[in-house]
Structure formats: C-alpha cells, structure tokens
Amino acid sequence: MAQEPFLSDKETDRVPRSVSPYKAGFRCVCPNCAAAPLFHNILEVHSACPACGFDLSNADPGDGAQVFVILILGFVTALMGFLLYGVMGLPIWALAIILGFVILAGSVWMLRVIKATLIALQFHHDAHEGALDEKDKQS
C-alpha cells in the first residue's frame, strides 16, 4: 500500500476573506460578510449567517474564550480592588457593588468579543481537523 504524501499548507485550499477577523470579532458580526450579528442570544452562535447564509455550524472556539476572560478580568478586578480599597479607602460594601458590576458586565462583554474573535480567526485561517488525503476531507 503506497503512502500518500502529506499536504503542506500551500497545497490546501485557502479562501481569501475580505473581513478582518479582529474587526469582525470586536463587532461580534459574521466573519464572512460582517453584515449580520454572530450571536442570536447572549452567547449562542447562529448555525448560519442570517445575511449571507455562511455556514457557522462548525464554529467551535472551545473553552478558549473563558480562559482569556478569567485571566484578563481577574487581573483587572484584582488591581481595581487594590486601588479602590488601598489607595482611595472605599468601604467593602462599595467595593462589592463596583467590582460586582465590573465582573458581571465585563465578563459577558469580553466573552462575546473573544468568542467572536476566535470564531473569526478559525474561519480566516480555515482551521479544521487534519486530513491526509481527499477521502478524509470529505468525511
């Protein structure tokens, strides 16, 4: 049985995208046309773009967005807590209200933006499972 050669990145079919994945991600819009919203709930991705019909059913950023939000927002709120309590001397109940709002609003906003950016980057770079030949690509 003859071995098929591996396909390099240059041999795979790359689809040029006119929309910047970072702009589409920041605006939470379709990575193909940037004309329709990517989410139909707070964090639920459309199965297909309502404007251009682009298939979004394979969009899967995994847990990547949550990790970024935990690390970035955790650092920001800890720093804010030190500044508000240590430098400005705010009472604990004020810290709880301010930081509670920052954590709730910031985590939802950052989850949307980072999830949309990861999905847009996935489609921009045509990321998918590896395949050794054309028969594997079909399945």
Contacting positions for Zn ion (CB under 5 A): 30, 32-33, 49, 51-52, 54
Determine the Cα–Cα distance for residues 21 and 67; give it in Å rounded to an integer.
20
Give the HSE-up count for residue 5: Cα atoms under 13 Å, Cβ half-sphere. 5
Q: Tell me which DSSP letter residue 129 carries.
A: -
- Of 26 and 54, CB closest to Zn ion: 54
* Strand, helix or coil for residue 73: helix
Instruction: Supply the minimum distance, in Å, between the C-beta of residue 53 and Zn ion.
Output: 7
Shortest reach from residue 112's CB to Zn ion, in Å: 17
| Neighbour-count burial for 14-47, b at 16+ CB within 10 Å, e otherwise | eeebebebeebbebbbbbbbbebbbeeeeeebbe
Task: Kindly state the smallest distance separating residue 9's Cβ from Zn ion, in Å.
Answer: 25
Beta bridge partners of 8: none
Instruction: Provide, rounded to whole angstroms, the least separation between the CB of residue 35 and Zn ion.
Output: 6
Nearest distance, CB of residue 29 and Zn ion, angstroms: 8
Nearer to Zn ion by Cβ, of 30 and 116: the residue is 30
Q: Which is nearer to Zn ion, 29 or 69 (CB)?
A: 29
* C-beta closer to Zn ion: residue 32 or 77: 32
Which residue, 51 or 102, is less far from Zn ion as judged by CB? 51
Give the list of residues 6+ apart from residue 12 with CB closer than 8 angstroms, or none: 126
